[in-house]
Amino acid sequence: MKHTNLLDKERTYIPATLAVTISCAITGVLPYLLNNHSVWVQWNVFFHLLTGVACSFALLPYLLIHFRRTVGFRRMRVLVSGLFTIILFICFAYSGWHILIFGQQESEKWLYLIHIIAAGLFIALGIFHLILHIKLLPKKRKHQDENNYPSVPKKTVQYTIKTAVVLQVIIVFIGWIYQFSIEAYSTTPSVSQYQYDYGEHPFRPSQTETTNNAFIDKRQIANSQRCISCHEDIGKQWFSSVHQQAASDPTYVTNVSLLAKNNGISATRYCEGCHAPVALLTGELSPGGQHGGIAGTLANKEGISCMSCHGIKKLTHLKGVASFEFGPKEDYLFEQSQNSLLTNINKLMIRVKPDQHKKDLARPLFKESKYCSTCHSQFMDKDMNNWGWVKMQDEYASWLASPYSKQHEESFSNINASSCQDCHMPLSNSTDPSANSEGKVRSHHFPGANTFLPILRNDNQQLQQTITFLQSNKLRVSIDKPNRKDALQTLHALDESLRNFEETPYYYYLGEKTKINVVISNRGVGHNFPGGTIDINQAWVEFLALDAHGREVYSSGLIDENNYVDPKAYFYRSLPVDKQGNLVWKHDLFNRVGESFKRVIKAGESDIVHYTFDIPAWVKSPLTITATLKYRKLNQRYAKWALKDQYIDIPVVNLSWDSLDIPIKIRKEVE
């Protein structure tokens, strides 16, 4: 009686269970084999999720009933194959539910592989289990019962096939209907009468390209909040970064507004390709439009948006000025929907099948240093300065020439090479779905050298990270001990203990003229020091000599009460000039034709600074000499002009320092 009841239950379960299982298998196998991103394939993935849930709920009670009904049969091979089939069901069901809830995470790639293998083996072993059942049936039963599978009602196979076919028809129909709901992306500029003031190319003088020079719909580039809804941890990092503030930076706002006022809004395309790609690529930069420096605009809020970087398909050249080709990513279902339910379906689709997402947004190019050259290299041409071609900052070229790139070695590759990303995007702990097997992602704080933007936002964490980065032992200061060439003649016997000294004693006499050498070494910066906008940044050596009572004997590079650095200090900087030879101190690069002075330290090299001064008669020994390499994001003159009412005292960071005590003696008569 018990066996009969279980058999009846099993017969009740089997048609729907088999139908949903086969449908689940088909909608899972098709996307796996075809491996494309068509709407039809995406809908198959969606229905695979639905049928997968149904399959797991249907198979579990069926397998339990089937096991209870057949456990007493004396066919060990059938029993073992059945048990292994149940184990495989648990494996693929658990992995499927995990992927459904948490998505395919980079740190758990193996789970998706287990799901595929377990599901495939489940079907194969299930078929093998059925074959064994027939093979091991007693001959008497084979002849007595035409139905060798008593638990399977008649027409179950036909019902299953019809269900699978109907499901595919539904998928095709829904996919066809869905196509009509998609709003086409705009490829025309936001400004109705877009002006081509720099030739036929729509984005010049920026070096940016798009496919067929088409404009980009704002939905395809200004959607960072959509990205952050899944990549929350990375989004928080990016929001603190200078990249996010590239358009809203008040110094940039001042300079781009000055450019628009003098040369027209079309000229701002030169800057906006890097600082506000949203404005450039959507076609805002023409009379009637708004550049990224205008508060409240989409470009101003986004800055360098997520897609501004992750939408780069390839580089057009390595000269910079936004020298990349932008390519929008492929859409998943309901990509642009504002409906909360459909938005969640879109996120679900990306999580469970992120292949196309990773293909579009995690290109191998992003790991290469040349990727950064698009905006961290710069030149100015005649169409901007009305003079001629001028080379400006070029961190990529200086990195290539550095020992850290290993490009100067006669070898095909070197695993010890350091990239831009190694320093400016170090690995950091994260719970992000893109985290690697060690739970780390490339930091999107982009630590660099901007110490005033974090203060404007009261972002102490970003400020401290920036200061820590600047003080991370990449630069060294060392004071050379003075070597005396003269020696005293004396009739006194030589103290034998002096023979143990390996260095000649150093000292100065009162009234003597000193000469101190300070060595500044760039031992860890992967490019020239300083880098970036060295015409408005400040890097200098502060040199201070004090006697034993703390009285100043000599100084250079001190900051006065108005926050200005001693103009006679030893600076590392550039002094750009215009056609008349006047200093271009406002960073108005459209007036720049060259530079009258430039001093940097190349990567892996050193610079020697000489200081000469007299030792006054009042000095008390010892003389304490301190040399400090200092850095401030903006020089005082430019900061007050550019920041206007947002002016703040920008912190001075001590990058490296050294100190030396020098004995002072009174010169005696020669005996």
User: Which of 501, 490, 531, 555 has its CA nearest to residue 633?
Assistant: 531
Q: Report the pLDDT value the prediction gives residue 508, as an integer from 0 to 100.
A: 92
Q: Report the pLDDT value the prediction gives residue 237, as an integer from 0 to 100.
A: 95
Q: Report the pLDDT value the prediction gives residue 659, as an integer from 0 to 100.
A: 97
Regions of the chain short of the pLDDT cut 50: 1, 143-145
Q: Report the pLDDT value the prediction gives residue 144, as an integer from 0 to 100.
A: 47
* Residue 544, strand partner residues: 555, 626
User: What does 84-142 look like in DSSP terms, one character per residue?
Assistant: HHHHHHHHHHHHHHHHHHH---GGGHHHHHHHHHHHHHHHHHHHHHHHHHHHTS-HHHH
Distance CA 118, CA 99 (A): 14
Pair of tokens at residue 101: 């809830």
3-state secondary structure at position 433 = coil
Pair of tokens at residue 439: 């739970």
User: Which of 510, 470, 461, 449 has its CA nearest to residue 628?
Assistant: 470
User: Which of 423, 391, 356, 367 has its CA nearest to residue 603?
Assistant: 423
Q: In the block, which residue shows the tokens 């695993």?
A: 415
Distance CA 294, CA 278 (A): 13
First to last CA, the chain: 128
Could you state, in order of their start, the residue ranges of all structural domains in the chain? 2-181, 209-446, 473-665
User: Which of 482, 474, 558, 476 has its CA nearest to residue 519?
Assistant: 476
Distance CA 363, CA 273 (A): 20
Eight-class DSSP state of 245: T
Instruction: Compute CA 399 distance to the chain's CA centroid, rounded to the nearest angstrom.
Output: 18
In terms of DSSP H, where are the helices of 276-416? 277-281, 298-302, 306-310, 340-352, 355-361, 373-376, 382-385, 395-400
Q: Where are the beta strands (DSSP E) in 139-286?
A: 209-210
User: Which of 18, 323, 310 has its CA nearest to residue 149?
Assistant: 18
507 within 8 A of 665, measured Cβ to Cβ: yes
* Phi-psi category of residue 149: left, alpha or beta, with phi > 0 → left and psi -120 to 50 → alpha: beta
The phi, psi pair for 608, rounded to 5°, reads: -115, 125
Pair of tokens at residue 77: 């091979």
User: Which of 574, 545, 575 has its CA nearest to residue 557?
Assistant: 545
The top-level CATH class assigned to 473-665 is mainly beta
